[in-house]
Chains A and B, each alone.
Chain A
Amino acid sequence: MSLLRVEGLGIHFGGVQAIEDLDFTIEAGTIHSIIGPNGAGKTTLFNLITGVYRPSAGTILLDDTPIAGRKPHDLARMGLSRTFQNLRIMMNMSALDNVMVGRHLHLNRNLLACLLRLPPVTRGDRAARKLCTELMDLVGLSAYRDADAGSLPYGALKRLEIARALAAEPRLLLLDEPAAGLNAQETREIDEVIVKVARSGVTVVLVEHDMKLVMGLSDHILVLDHGRTLAEGTPEAVRNNPAVVAAYLGTV
């Protein structure tokens, strides 16, 4: 059984058909990449899957449960987590607190318990702080444990997004261009993190322009162009697909 199944998915903004009649499945435990030229609809697809947008047509099934149109926080409860291409960092908080927000669903959120600071709250917070620190170490942010999020450089913020997404312990992690704007060294480090995350049993969906990263990591690649599937298959198959080459390099 596939973890995520998308059938006949479509959305339009006014007259623009951003995604049209899209079908694909994502198997549990794989790294699945979505590539395509700018404006192909990759981020829109992410926004549809994570409930930020409501599709105009089609269904999205997570474990055979329809999730199209559900709110993002509901989907988080079902094990969906994501990062953002344009960073969505809480600049008013410390780096660690950003990761702790990702832990939200695993903590005691009873109003009375929080107001009175009952032991379950403090105990949970202490354990979460420890776990989130470890996550920051995992993504390579040990140097910024106590730092304010606003004081972190761009590359570190990219990692912080990943740490926050991981704190929720997702089953399905969607990474929107995690390597964009990073240098070769930093990209390699992100690569290592993604592999480590995937090995721990999390299914990863990756939107990325760095072909070296995509080709090296992915079990399966979906190529989008103008909101439609252009090609699909293993990295090998996609690389040799003439339609993909044409979309990226243009036809002669």
Chain B
Amino acid sequence: MATIKPSGYSKHRKKQTYTRRLGTRATPMQMLFSERVGGMGALILVIACLPLLLSNNYQYDVAITMGINAIVVVGLNLLVGYAGQVSLGHAGFFALGAYASAILTTRYGLHGALALPAGALGVGVLAYLIARPILRLSGHYLAMATLGVGVIIHIVLDREAWLTGGPDGMYVPTIEVAGVPLYGGAIWYWIVAAVLILTVWLALNLIDSPIGRALRGLHGAEVAAEVAGVDTTHYKVMVFVISAVLASVAGSLSAHFSEFVTPDSASFFHSILFVTMVVFGGMASTFGALIGAALLTLLPQLLADFSGYEQMILGLIMMLVMIVMPRGLLPTLVGLARRRQREARS
């Protein structure tokens, strides 16, 4: 195939650096800095080493909450960050997962290990039914509709006391596996860690696949993606369901870990918190989402000393980060590092 040499492009050509020879495998060095090898390696290393710093139950609690939030946020980032569809109702799916586990185990005697997938399946079906009509909307209208979904779930969990225990919430029994009760931070840390690592791996795989490009593509130029053969409605629904299922799984884990659920887990504030974690860490960046979830879980704990003012300081920190780094923490820092590297080279 003959190549047309465009005029006047030669000066750009020299500047262009090829990070990867196309159509070939990556070199070991490139793999080390890729998300799937380097990023996953770093994540596993951090998770493996973190228990060395954890000395009491409270610290384990914070670490586990970080992990649970991270599972939700990595899923939500697929929807909000990559596909560009807002959801202000994901705490609803989180709470449904938690309540599914609570209700199925206490009232129907189902084992926790079965209640979790059952809840995830139910939430998946519900999310599918909700997504078909509301994902026709976009922007503010979609935000309003998903907000409505979250609020409705919150109200139902709050009012249907015969099933959910009402505003007081309900206890969840300890899961036993082969006679060993799963109780305490040390055990749950590793359970949540395993699910989180699996979630991150699946998310990275999905994004770097034809489906992932379809999702990013419909975010960037919906008509163009549609014309290229991407059934945009189908993919929006798909990613909405995936993110809802991940929220439900995280909810189930949280219910079994804390052994208690309340309707507040479905609150509007909780939904906003999840979206904030995505935006804070960096939209369309899986590791950004992890950092966002970790920092915004940790910060309120660190600021607890400023009793009464912690929310205000948290708000200020968030405002500052978003003003200075509008693309979110990780993408801004990565961009900065790349520019440094380029300047150093030239």
Contact = CB atoms under 8 A, between A and B. Distances in A.
Interface of A: 50, 52, 71-73, 76-77, 81-82, 84, 88-93, 96-98, 100-105, 107-109, 111, 114-117, 121, 124-127, 129-130, 133-134, 137-147, 149, 155, 164-165, 167-168, 185-186, 189, 192-193, 196
Given A88-B223, A92-B284, A129-B22, A143 B214 contact: no
Contact of A100 (B3, B4, B213, B226): B213
A218 B233 CA distance: 37
B140 interface: no
Contacts of A129: 22-23
Given A114-B205, A114-B210, A115-B202, A84 B20 contact: no
A102 B214 CA distance: 9
B228 A164 contact: yes
A124 B211 CA distance: 13
A92 B209 contact: no
A168 to B, nearest CB: 6
B212 to A, nearest CB: 7
A102 B224 CA distance: 9
Interface residues of B, number: 45
B210 A109 contact: yes
Contacts, number: 159
A52 B223 contact: yes
Given A76-B229, A109-B211, A140 B238 contact: no
A92 B227 contact: no
29 contacts: A72-B227, A73-B228, A73-B231, A76-B226, A90-B216, A90-B221, A90-B224, A96-B22, A98-B217, A101-B213, A101-B216, A102-B228, A104-B210, A104-B214, A105-B228, A107-B210, A114-B209, A116-B205, A125-B210, A133-B23, A137-B1, A139-B4, A142-B3, A143-B13, A146-B17, A146-B18, A147-B16, A164-B224, A186-B6
Contacts of B4: 138-140, 189, 192-193
